[in-house]
Structure 1
Amino acid sequence: MNLFRKKSLQELISETENKGVTLKKELGAFDLSMLGIGAIIGTGIFVLTGVAAAEHAGPALILSFILSGLACVFAALCYAEFASAAPVSGSAYTYSYATFGELIAWILGWDLILEYGLASSAVASGWSGYFQGLLAGFGIHFPKAITSAYDPAHGTFVDVPAILITLIITFLLTQGVKKSARFNSTVVMIKLAVVVLFIAVGAWYVKPANWTPFMPFGFSGVATGAATVFFAYIGFDAVSTAAEEVKNPQKNMPIGIIASLLVCTVLYIIVSGILTGIVPYTHLDVKNPVAFALNYIHQDWAAGFISIGAICGITTVLLVMIYGQTRLFYAISRDGLLPKVFSSVDKKKQIPMVNTWITCVLVSIFSGLVPLGRLAELTNIGTLFAFMTVSTGILYLRKTKGVPTGGFRVPFVPWIPILAFIFCGYLALQLPAITWISFVVWLVIGLFVYFGYGVKHSTLNEKNENLKKIV
């Protein structure tokens, strides 16, 4: 049994062209950039900024965003080269199949299922909270029993709004990738306008005295803050899951990945600076820090727009996360490591229809019924693990003969991949011990699934069996 059998990049690409009904190539560089921004700007900027400032970094939250941004920029360059060399669904899972072999690819794929699946559930729950808050402003309230996840002590049993938004987003995704991308681009424009509104209004109320002391918790606080706000950057890797549906991927994939990350990093740094300049950092431990800051300076009209922008932001994050999850299931299933139902493609719309609705059911169950207390940290460690693996994979890719030399190439190899690995590893070490334990438990469950099902049904295993029969 060869657990580290690999697929060459050429083999991965040929599989996307030869197997029956394929995914439709409809996305350009603008669509990809909007997908990236749609996934990145959301819960992180509208929710986590306050917690990170109040509990960890203080006004030095700006440095936390820069530290996280650097880790992501280095990793993004590595993703861009892989996406250009292998424009195939599956993101880091697929790249690992070509560089490290099947077992490592499965571990990374299982890790990404954690990232996309549970993040989708958490985002749906977050959307539910903001939406109910907006309705409450108009005097509209849901019965308490259906407002949150199962918690009989507090009188809640199921989060119906979270399930409803998951169903709506799934229905949109089943209409085809181009329609989904158009919807995403429209909503992204709205939330970018809202972020710019905050900057334009808030900049006039900044008091430099609020930036003192600048680093109240020391550099360790800045590092912990960086690990916390890292959740705000999760999403640019979801762009790479769209690779098979992109026109001219060698050119457009790197543009989409890098452009979305740079735009969001600049906005995050500006927003965090203004936020801590308006409100003393000790006051920011709230669920809606950006809207709270505008209320603090009595700009209530703008705070209302921020709430709408937050709902738009979280909606697009949910759309891209569920989309990324379906394409990940599609890629793993096509390799035989998950049941074939996940890789069946609808002939008319050229999307994995059944897979999309299965994902909807799973996300609905978790977001509607399960309280997900430590979800942000679990999602963070899963993403950091993926980034570190992809960064290491670039070093292998450069030594492999027969790899396409066209398309985007990471500059300053091996230094950029090494820096990506070090930065991401450092951030991972800042996460709590319970997060590491939960992550290891998840990976162990994944190994049981692989040895119980995947290793036997792998397409590479079937090829080897067929060769033995011929011989």
Structure 2
Amino acid sequence: MTKDLERDLGLWAVIAISMGAMIGSGIFILPGLAMAEAGPAVVLAFVIAAILVVPAALSIAELGTAMPEAGGDYVFIERGMGPAAGTIAGLGTWIMLMLKGALALVGGMIYVSALTAIPTFSVLDTVLEWSITLPGGLLVIRGTEILAVTLAVLLVLVNLVGVKQTGGLQTIMVIVMLGILSVFVAGSIVQVEAANFDGFFVEGSDGLLSATALVLVSYAGVTKVAAVAEEIENPGRNLPLGLLISLIVTTFLYVLLVFVLVGVVPGLDGSDAPMADAVDLLFGNLFLFAIVLAALLALVSTANAGILTASRYPLALSRDNLFLDKFEFIHPRFNTPMVAILTTGGIIVLVILIFDVEQIAKSAGAFQILVYILVCAALIAFRERDLEWYDPEFVTPGYPWIQLFGIVSGLFIITEMDRLPIVGAVGITIFGFAWYQFYAKERVEREGLAVGLARRETGKQYVRDTAEQLEASPADTYEVLIPLRRDVSREQEDALLHMAAPIVRRRGGRIRVVRFDEVPDQVPLDTAAESLSPADIQFERRTDELVQDLDVPVEVGEIVSHDTRHAVVNFAERTNVDLILARREATSRLGTLFGRDTDWIMDHAPCDVVFVQHEQSVDVKNVSIVTDRSPFNDPLKVELADAMANSLGARLRFVFAVPEDAPDELIETIEDYHAELDDLCTVPVESTIVRTDDEVGGLSTELETADIVMLSTMTHHRIPDLLVEQRSDRLAAVVEQPVLLVHSKQSRRGTFLRPIVERVLFD
């Protein structure tokens, strides 16, 4: 058995990830610092910086469609230019991401301090006035730095335990932030004064270039999405399109906001929190609070994503034998790269304590430019060799002039920086090369381009074989997918197989048993997919044993993903699955408030879905169907139940509950309805109508003799279903037998009134 990697990031997810990584320091921190360098020409500095990013973005897009794998720029450079350049790129990107995370945390706490302008938050002054002086007076740690370090430690813990990041949360954050910033622009752009742009080039070309180098880190996130290229569906379209859209939109937003800041509020030069200062002056306390909230959302999210992404680089270097082996350690409980995360967090804390905001920003920009230069050079290396396997779906226009421009302009911008970032960029280049020569060179046996691909390509072929094996199926067969999580027991798997077998036996087809292994976002998918654990081998052997007595075809596989529900639905779409038969744990009503994976699957699955609760292997003699006059779910329940009863020699029973005072006309209608359903069956059917004012209690009593119970289920509406629980949920909770909750792909999701109407009819 091999493992496949799940691609579940669409175009909007790519845009949200890229923009979410960019919209942060570029808006909330750097404009004031850049104004001090370039004056009003800071507007032009953001445009030039965006242009300088384009060659690297286009190169990343091409390389990402040719090699859609985890690692992004590090992998591309290591493959194209060899492990020595890969070592420099990996270390440089790691440092750049840590600096960007530190910048976001420091900036976020500066915005917290801006709240002291609001009387309600004046107590913050006391906290921010705290300071710690280290022995000898070498270092004074201020209140904002203490808060930033505290938050950094919390984020490290969050990443260490593998708390999941969600594309939906990132999208919501981007939308909220764009909304707040749009209101700011709309309310202030009419107040722009042309006089504020007098002396546009007052600081000259040197100031403009210095500001460009400073704000270039604002666009660092545009290529971040390449690090998760293996998770992007249709990367040939979504990767380049997502990168370009996010770059264009973000550049327009940056230029518009900086134009407004320069034109409306003079005197922001050197401000660490320019948006807060501008809003406080123009709109007052209420909008100041909103801007601070938006800044914290953006900057904390950027810092958290920085820690998550940065920790992947020492892990990747270690796996490629270019760095210390201990960085490859995965925590056995949390399944996260513990050493890499702790080291990343520790360095971020040191950066916060030692450097100021401007130094951090300029240093991060220098390392980013260094990586951009190497990416452009790597693309040239790939293009200039005749490699049969190099077949990108997206080809960079203007080759090689675009890449040469990226290299030359990058080198030129670095020379225009201050001494600290130049020393840092040169230093990491020398250190990386020396590290490779004296530590890693004897540990690797590969060169650049196609020579060193054996280890990765073996792993990728190992994955591709699974995809081809699992997805190849005749179009006229009935496919039942049984998705399993890692913690499934032998008994639970056996019960699901024996429920699916009669259905496949009736329709002719196969069962696909796929274990969906969800790993934390902190772990690249290929890391989890390249090795078989004892649990993987045990699962394969156990499944082989379970299917021996089944007279239907069964295929077994495993898929690794960061989001199981997306992986299940995507696999069902790719393989034309007709029915998903999955376990469902009994959940509390509170779980509805936070959203259930089962609801998401029902909403998005391209096929019928059946969830099994209280699954267990039983001797089936009686299959009871609770009918509800659903035009889609009832026929599906009958079809599935009849197949089971026919195969197992069981009998069927239709059960319907009516109020105690139900008129005879209603009883006759139900009897006629059951007779119509009876015509669909090949086995004898019994019809039972239960008169009760306690629907759940009456039905549960009547169902005590059943071996399997079938119910309809619908997707939950969060607030209404939290207040009024679905009948199927209440009934499934009190029935002790195995319960099949059936959802037809043709059934429509009801309105928020559905659970209320159901309850009122009987209560």
**Normalising by structure 1, what TM-score?**
0.83
How many angstroms does 1:66 deviate by?
Answer: 1.0
How many angstroms does 1:106 deviate by?
Answer: 0.9
Partner of 1:364: 349
Equivalent pair of 2:12/2:242 in contact (CA under 8 Å)? yes
2:115 aligns with one of 119, 130, 134 = 134
Q: Secondary structure at the match of 2:228?
A: helix
Change (3 A) 1:136 1:352: farther
1:107-186 maps to which residues of 2 (within 5 A)?
107-134=88-115, 137=118, 138-141=121-124, 143=127, 152=137, 156=141, 159-173=145-159, 179-186=165-172
| Cα distance between partner residues in 2 of 1:204 and 1:414 | 44
Partner of 1:322: 307
| Deviating more after overlay: 144-153 vs 410-419 | 144-153
Give unpaired runs (5+ residues) of structure 2: 453-763
Q: Secondary structure at the match of 2:288?
A: helix
**Normalising by structure 2, what TM-score?**
0.53
How many angstroms does 1:213 deviate by?
Answer: 2.3
Partner of 2:250: 264
| Cα distance between partner residues in 2 of 1:350 and 1:23 | 17
Change (3 A) 1:425 1:441: closer
Change (3 A) 1:166 1:246: farther
| Cα distance between partner residues in 2 of 1:174 and 1:31 | 24
Partner of 1:32: 14
Partner of 2:52: 71
Change (3 A) 1:104 1:156: closer
Residue 44 (1) aligns with residue 44 (2) = no
- CA offsets 1:308-332 (integer angstroms, 9 cap, x no match): 2111121121122212212222321
| Cα distance between partner residues in 1 of 2:174 and 2:159 | 16
2:81 aligns with one of 62, 82, 100 = 100
How many angstroms does 1:50 deviate by?
Answer: 1.4
2:229 aligns with one of 239, 243, 251 = 243
Change (3 A) 1:276 1:357: same
1:339 aligns with one of 300, 324, 338 = 324
How many angstroms does 1:111 deviate by?
Answer: 1.4
Equivalent pair of 2:14/2:242 in contact (CA under 8 Å)? yes
Partner of 1:229: 215
Equivalent pair of 2:29/2:107 in contact (CA under 8 Å)? no
Letter paired with 1:169: L
Letter paired with 2:141: T
Partner of 1:297: 282
Structure (1 or 2) with the larger CA radius of gyration: 2
Change (3 A) 1:251 1:319: farther
Residue 196 (1) aligns with residue 182 (2) = yes
Partner of 1:60: 41
- CA offsets 1:245-276 (integer angstroms, 9 cap, x no match): 33333333223322221111010111111111
Residue 411 (1) aligns with residue 394 (2) = no
Q: What do you get for the CA RMSD once the two structures are aligned?
A: 3.2
Change (3 A) 1:355 1:146: farther
- CA offsets 1:269-302 (integer angstroms, 9 cap, x no match): 111111111023x443211112222333354432
Change (3 A) 1:185 1:170: farther
Change (3 A) 1:458 1:125: farther
| Cα distance between partner residues in 2 of 1:47 and 1:81 | 32
Equivalent pair of 1:93/1:105 in contact (CA under 8 Å)? yes
| Cα distance between partner residues in 2 of 1:68 and 1:349 | 40
Change (3 A) 1:135 1:87: farther
- CA offsets 1:54-98 (integer angstroms, 9 cap, x no match): x23222222111111111122211111111111222222211112
Give unpaired runs (5+ residues) of structure 1: 1-16, 465-471
Equivalent pair of 1:205/1:297 in contact (CA under 8 Å)? no
Letter paired with 2:198: T
Change (3 A) 1:460 1:345: farther
Equivalent pair of 1:56/1:224 in contact (CA under 8 Å)? yes
Q: Secondary structure at the match of 1:156?
A: strand
Partner of 1:287: 272
Equivalent pair of 2:34/2:215 in contact (CA under 8 Å)? yes
Partner of 1:421: 407
Residue 307 (1) aligns with residue 283 (2) = no
Equivalent pair of 2:84/2:432 in contact (CA under 8 Å)? no
Letter paired with 1:326: S
| Cα distance between partner residues in 2 of 1:95 and 1:229 | 25
| Deviating more after overlay: 241-250 vs 316-325 | 241-250
Q: Secondary structure at the match of 1:374?
A: helix
| Cα distance between partner residues in 2 of 1:360 and 1:126 | 17
Change (3 A) 1:249 1:347: farther
Q: Give the structure with the higher percent helix.
A: 1
| Cα distance between partner residues in 1 of 2:331 and 2:8 | 16
How many angstroms does 1:131 deviate by?
Answer: 2.9
| Cα distance between partner residues in 2 of 1:253 and 1:175 | 30
| Cα distance between partner residues in 1 of 2:170 and 2:99 | 21
Equivalent pair of 2:415/2:422 in contact (CA under 8 Å)? no
1:273 aligns with one of 259, 264, 269 = 259
Equivalent pair of 1:25/1:247 in contact (CA under 8 Å)? yes
Change (3 A) 1:314 1:157: closer
| Cα distance between partner residues in 2 of 1:459 and 1:358 | 28
Q: Which has the higher contact order (CA 8 A, sep 6+)?
A: 1
Change (3 A) 1:23 1:323: farther
| Cα distance between partner residues in 2 of 1:397 and 1:445 | 25
Change (3 A) 1:243 1:328: farther
How many angstroms does 1:154 deviate by?
Answer: 7.7
Residue 90 (1) aligns with residue 71 (2) = yes
Change (3 A) 1:150 1:442: farther
| Cα distance between partner residues in 2 of 1:325 and 1:403 | 29
Change (3 A) 1:135 1:84: farther
Partner of 1:443: 429
Equivalent pair of 1:242/1:324 in contact (CA under 8 Å)? no
How many angstroms does 1:386 deviate by?
Answer: 1.0
- CA offsets 1:209-250 (integer angstroms, 9 cap, x no match): 212222222333322221121122222222211223333333
Equivalent pair of 1:250/1:407 in contact (CA under 8 Å)? yes
| Cα distance between partner residues in 1 of 2:334 and 2:168 | 16
What percent of counterpart residues are identical? 24
| Cα distance between partner residues in 1 of 2:195 and 2:319 | 57
